[in-house]
Structure 1
């Protein structure tokens, strides 16, 4: 499997991968999970946060997209503080410039049938923590069902709710933050068996132009 860290401007080759990501997201979040507010006639899940500030962590196997997620700096417009602000009752653990919002996590449906934890989700969890460390973030926020919190706890992450769970589209949903640390990376690698680095280490940088990396 290859992990790709994609941030604009994007080359034509990488634009095709990003387009596959938008279409697969629509298939999963709209057609399967029923997020009707995201439905678009062109079959692409693209919102206001798929912009120049966003980084997409995409996973391929044999050149086929099998999973992905999106990261947005918390000192830029983000999903947590714009759409899900009602779930946030507590303060962030540090200045927003030190955090990122993690959204749109998915694994292609045929890769997770009948399996509680997939190699794809393990790779995405490890890549997320590697990316956060490389960028100099100290915490990651997310909004999800309670099962995602349980999954994070199971891989040894320190997760702190930002408020009480609430029903969103009929499901118990919570906003929370994850502590970013080398210890958290060690824990998730140990729990998932992903021993090697998935993306290359680099000095912390959050400029507008980052090339796609493939390991």
Structure 2
């Protein structure tokens, strides 16, 4: 189940957010070897701020299995502040365009099926939340290694410029259109039936975004 967490319900998810930043450190710093300016054991940066929205994948046992971060592109965000050179015609900025970053799911040999389910729920949760919140597109910087998988999943993707090397990885900036037709394709490809959003958390945050 995908929980929508932001300014209006962060207090109730305080423990999960603490775990989120610990998991991000394990995934991005320890496992992937990213060079990030963060405290030992915690990956939290200037973009983890009051207006940040988090999509948290929490299973039926209350375990945090993965997450992604959403930021309004009308304010400073990862692409505008760290990767503007990846955008040939300028960084996209619009009330209906948000950025996704720090997208991860827990990995491990014995967790592959669960990991795939987590990714599927997060992707479909993003579409659902966007369609309910008047978010038409999301921008993202990701490794080129993931790009074929993204295309195969049915996402409508537009590259924003040429790839570049960052922290030893070839990365690319792109836009993803989020619409009802593509959502149905992605949900079918991901074998997701029905809503994956946690209703009460959505009601607390989504209405504020849509105003």
Per the TM superposition, whether the score is higher than 0.5 is yes
155, 168, 173: which one pairs with 1:157? Answer: 155
Aligned to 2:86: 87
Aligned 1:36-55 pairs, distance under 5 A: 36-41=35-40, 43-55=41-53
* Maintained 8 Å contact 2:84/2:90: no
> Where does structure 2 lack aligned partners over 5 or more consecutive residues?
none
TM-score by length of 1: 0.87
> Where does structure 1 lack aligned partners over 5 or more consecutive residues?
209-215
Aligned to 1:58: 56
Shifted more, 65-74 versus 194-203: the winner is 194-203
Check if 1:121 corresponds to 2:124: no
* Maintained 8 Å contact 1:149/1:159: no
Distance in 1 (CA, whole Å) between partners of 2:164 and 2:49 is 28
Aligned to 2:168: 170
* Maintained 8 Å contact 2:130/2:136: yes
Q: Cα gap change, 1:112/1:101 in structure 2, threshold over 3 Å: closer, same or farther? A: farther
Aligned to 1:30: 29
Distance in 2 (CA, whole Å) between partners of 1:131 and 1:193 is 18
183, 194, 197: which one pairs with 2:195? Answer: 197
Aligned to 1:73: 72
85, 91, 103: which one pairs with 2:101? Answer: 103
> What secondary structure sits across from 2:122 in the alignment?
helix
Distance in 2 (CA, whole Å) between partners of 1:15 and 1:123 is 22
How many pairs align?
Answer: 205
- Deviation, 1:28, is 0.6
Richer in helix (by share): 2
Distance in 2 (CA, whole Å) between partners of 1:13 and 1:163 is 40
Distance in 2 (CA, whole Å) between partners of 1:111 and 1:120 is 15
Root-mean-square deviation (Å): 2.4
TM-score by length of 2: 0.88
